[in-house]
């Protein structure tokens, strides 16, 4: 009976170690990728909105080289705050399972107004209004594409609700399993409870080492340079959180081991 109890203790401790590892990782994910405010904060602190604004203007200037129109028709087309609001609206849609439609009407109106002013001031006659309309449409598309990450993550918006729902269920189930298993382990009077948490920290560090060995994160290129930079920042921030997670698990595990050893010595002396 005692041998069965020992084997059961080892088995449950192993399962608990696995689920502590899973749960601690889910907690970090919940605080980072799962949290849209966390993503917005990274975008804000990394000058993403400013870089996107510059990209839009650069793309527009390159496109209008052959048009014969001056660069000042791009004056006051949009502000950084408007770019920020549009990107944040797009992110909100992504987390709410909806594809946000970027508001390009205001860009078209301002561009049309600037072109009209230029033509009137220089007494230029328009031979084809459709050409101007096509030009304005193409110019506004640069704004729309940059805001929406070139639509490369639209598919993610369609399934985000399902993903979040699955994540929530896995998260709750993991919490329940960890609590139940930990109570059982305590009732079985397993003496190596601290080793469970310490082992979890080592497992996470090992997984991190494998990932960094197989993937060159600093040279990732996704969609565009700006988008890639943000992905790198998010990954590195997530990595820092995971390292803190490993540190907390390791310290907590060592603390339990120390307390358990102290209790044993105290019991022997009694």
String of DSSP letters for 87-131 = HHHHHHHHHTT-------HHHHHHHHHHHHHHHHHTTPPPS-HHH
For residues 136 and 209, state if they share a domain: no
Q: Tell me, what's the pLDDT at 198?
A: 92
Mean pLDDT taken over the chain: 86
- Residue range 85-92: average pLDDT? 92
pLDDT tens digits, 191-230: 777 889 999 999 999 998 888 877 877 777 776 777 788 8
Q: H or E stretch including 101?
A: none
Q: Tell me, what's the pLDDT at 110?
A: 92
Among 94, 126, 154, give the residue marking a domain's end.
154
- How many separate domains does the chain show? 2
What percent of the chain is predicted at pLDDT more than 70? 95
Rounded to whole angstroms, the Cα distance separating 76 from 82 reads 11
Q: Tell me, what's the pLDDT at 2?
A: 75
Q: Tell me, what's the pLDDT at 268?
A: 57
DSSP structural state of residue 153: T
Six-digit token string for 269: 């002396």
Q: Is the pLDDT of residue 27 over 70?
A: yes
Q: Among 179, 131, 146, 115, which residue's Cα sits nearest to residue 52?
A: 146
- Residue range 93-120: average pLDDT? 89
What percent of the chain is predicted at pLDDT more than 90? 39
Q: Is the pLDDT of residue 267 over 60?
A: no
Rounded to whole angstroms, the Cα distance separating 85 from 79 reads 10
| Domain housing 128 | 49-154
**Which band of pLDDT confidence, cut at 50, 70 and 90, is reported for residue 141?**
very high
Among 117, 133, 154, give the residue marking a domain's end.
154
Residue 262 domain flag: yes
Q: Is the pLDDT of residue 264 over 70?
A: no
For residues 249 and 182, state if they share a domain: yes
Judged on CB neighbours under 10 Å (0-12, 13-18, 19+), 270 is exposed
Are 90 and 146 in contact, with CB atoms under 8 Å apart?
Answer: no
Residue 194's CB: how many other CB atoms inside 10 A?
18
Among 126, 154, 182, give the residue marking a domain's end.
154
pLDDT tens digits, 59-77: 999 888 877 788 889 888 9
Residue 44 domain flag: no
């Amino acid at each position: 009976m005692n041998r069965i109890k020992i084997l059961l203790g080892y088995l449950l401790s192993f399962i608990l170690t696995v689920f502590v590892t899973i749960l601690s990782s889910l907690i970090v994910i919940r605080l980072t990728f799962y949290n849209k405010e966390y993503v917005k904060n990274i975008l804000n602190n990394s000058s993403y909105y400013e870089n996107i604004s510059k990209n839009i203007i650069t793309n527009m200037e390159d496109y209008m080289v052959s048009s014969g129109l001056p660069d000042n028709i791009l004056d006051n087309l949009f502000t950084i705050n408007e770019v920020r609001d549009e990107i944040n609206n797009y992110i909100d849609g992504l987390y709410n399972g909806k594809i946000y439609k970027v508001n390009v009407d205001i860009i078209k109106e301002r561009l049309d107004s600037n072109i009209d002013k230029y033509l009137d001031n220089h007494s230029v006659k328009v031979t084809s209004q459709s050409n101007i309309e096509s030009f304005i449409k193409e110019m506004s598309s640069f704004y729309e594409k940059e805001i929406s990450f070139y639509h490369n993550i639209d598919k993610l918006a369609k399934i985000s609700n399902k993903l979040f729902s699955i994540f929530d269920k896995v998260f709750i189930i993991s919490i329940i399993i960890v609590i139940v298993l930990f109570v059982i382990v305590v009732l079985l009077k397993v003496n190596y409870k601290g080793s469970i948490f310490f082992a979890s920290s080592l497992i996470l560090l090992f997984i991190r080492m494998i990932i960094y060995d197989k993937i060159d994160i600093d040279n990732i290129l996704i969609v565009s340079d700006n988008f890639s930079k943000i992905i790198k920042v998010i990954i590195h921030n997530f990595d820092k959180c995971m390292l803190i997670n490993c540190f907390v698990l390791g310290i907590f595990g060592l603390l339990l081991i120390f307390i358990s050893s102290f209790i044993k010595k105290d019991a022997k002396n009694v």
